[in-house]
Structure 1
Amino acid sequence: MYKSLKDRYKPERSWPANSADPFPFEGDIPVLQFINTYRNRGGIHRKDYLENYEDFLTWCNEFNIVDLEDYNTLNFEAYCNPHNANPVWQRTIRLRETIYEFINSTLRDKQIHEDAVTYFNEILSEANAHLRFELNGNSLQVMWFNTHEELAVPLWILVKQATVLLQSAKFRDIKKCHCGKFYLDTTKNKSRRWCNPLVCGNAVRSREYKERKMKLVVEIEGGC
């Protein structure tokens, strides 16, 4: 049965999932880009770019969470075992929203819910159970083990990356754009205003220009 499925299976790489609406790349680092896959949280035109496990896996490959070989392996496992892939996807979405709460609540000086911390720790404990030290020459190296064909591997990689971010100096550089996306402001004077200067920056500058022009027209007409 397993072999016959493998013979029929043909992995389909489809990025962007929709050429007219590709995965958002804003965020500067994978953890923030992961959070930004949900657009307009709480707004009218909400969009989730990770609608199933396949979307999540494709995103992970495109943003270098997993390489092409692991992508093909996990995509085949998900194809054969959709009943296992869907729960992993659901947990992934919950982790994304948990990390969002951590960052958003901190930026707004709001209390983080205890159940969010509990859930994050559950996923982190799972990930740590698959990590161990191994000798690499005369030095020690942390390596993953017992993860072959494990659908949750990308989830574990992301929770580990999030753990590093939450404890690093970079955490203080996180800002939230007016569009709702997070980004890292690494400028010397912390003057960056937008997640993407070519999109949000141009939109704001265009609006400000129109407002100045309208104000000038009103002043001229008022002086007549």
Structure 2
Amino acid sequence: MSRDPQRAATQFFGGRVCLDFANTMDWRTSDAPQELLPDYAALLTWSGNRRTLPAAAIARLRPRAMQPEAAAVLARARVLRTEVWHAAEALMQGVPVTLATFNRHLAALPAQPSLVEGDTSYLYDLPGAALDEPLWPVLWSLTALLTSIDASRIGCCHGTGCGWFFVDESPNRTRLWCSSEVCGNRERARRAYAKRRGGRAAP
């Protein structure tokens, strides 16, 4: 994660859509978390950057971003994000995930649509007709995560105050950072500075 909110909103270290969505709260475990989805328009921008919605769908939804219904979808998105946090934390602790909430969400979704080819990836062929379409790929991703071996590989960044989740695909499951180049470098620099000062960095 970055200290620059605009940059952080384009950093995808989770490895799965649902975890990248969980990571839309920057500095999640710090005293000053930074909201990366301040409005519905930002949710659409995130969906475009993460390539979960076709550009045509985003273009149809964007003119509706100021509607009261869009604000309600944003509120539901933030609730869903919190629920994904709880699920990820449960998986890390080896305790059961509370499935009732997710099953209610899934029951309200349409069937997964066909796929279309984008510029650099394949996307769900969503039409941009419903304001809550940005949430659907997140839930489909979560379903895939929970029903795969990835569910046993969830990790959380060890960087102080970060709190971003990821799928640990390292051979020995020893990944410590959301990004070695971002939080890893920052944490190493912090510890080196503390050592030079004669103190001791917090673990």
Aligned residues: 184
Q: TM-score, normalised by structure 2?
A: 0.77
| Contact kept? 1:24, 1:37, Cα under 8 Å | no
| 1:77-97 C-alpha deviation (Å, 9 max, x unpaired) | 335xx1221111111111111
Distance change >3 Å, CA 204–CA 132, structure 1 → 2: closer
**Unaligned ranges ≥5, structure 1:** 1-16, 134-142, 217-224
For 1:104, give the aligned amino acid. Answer: E
Percent identity of the aligned residues? 26
Alignment correspondent of 2:144: 164
Q: TM-score, normalised by structure 1?
A: 0.71
Measure how far apart 1:33 and its partner are.
Answer: 1.0
Where does 1:143-162 land on structure 2 (aligned, <5 Å)?
A: 148-162=128-142
Q: Which runs of 4+ in 1 moved over 2 A?
A: 17-26, 39-43, 76-79, 108-112, 129-133, 207-216
Distance change >3 Å, CA 200–CA 60, structure 1 → 2: same
Measure how far apart 1:50 and its partner are.
Answer: 0.8
Question: Pick from 49, 52, 70: which aligns with 1:62?
Answer: 49
Measure how far apart 1:214 and its partner are.
Answer: 4.8
Distance change >3 Å, CA 20–CA 65, structure 1 → 2: closer
| Contact kept? 2:177, 2:183, Cα under 8 Å | yes
Higher helix share: 1
Q: Identify the range of structure 1 (23-32 vs 175-184) with the bigger mean alpha-carbon deviation.
A: 23-32
Ranked by relative contact order (alpha carbons within 8 Å, sequence separation 6 or more), the top structure is: 2
- The question of 1:200 aligning with 2:183 is answered yes
Which of the pair has more CA radius of gyration?
1
Measure how far apart 1:18 and its partner are.
Answer: 6.1
Aligned alpha-carbon RMSD (Å): 2.8
Distance change >3 Å, CA 170–CA 44, structure 1 → 2: same
Distance 1:153 1:22 in 2: 19
Alignment correspondent of 2:119: none
Alignment correspondent of 1:31: 18
Distance 1:19 1:132 in 2: 31
Measure how far apart 1:210 and its partner are.
Answer: 3.3
Distance change >3 Å, CA 205–CA 119, structure 1 → 2: same
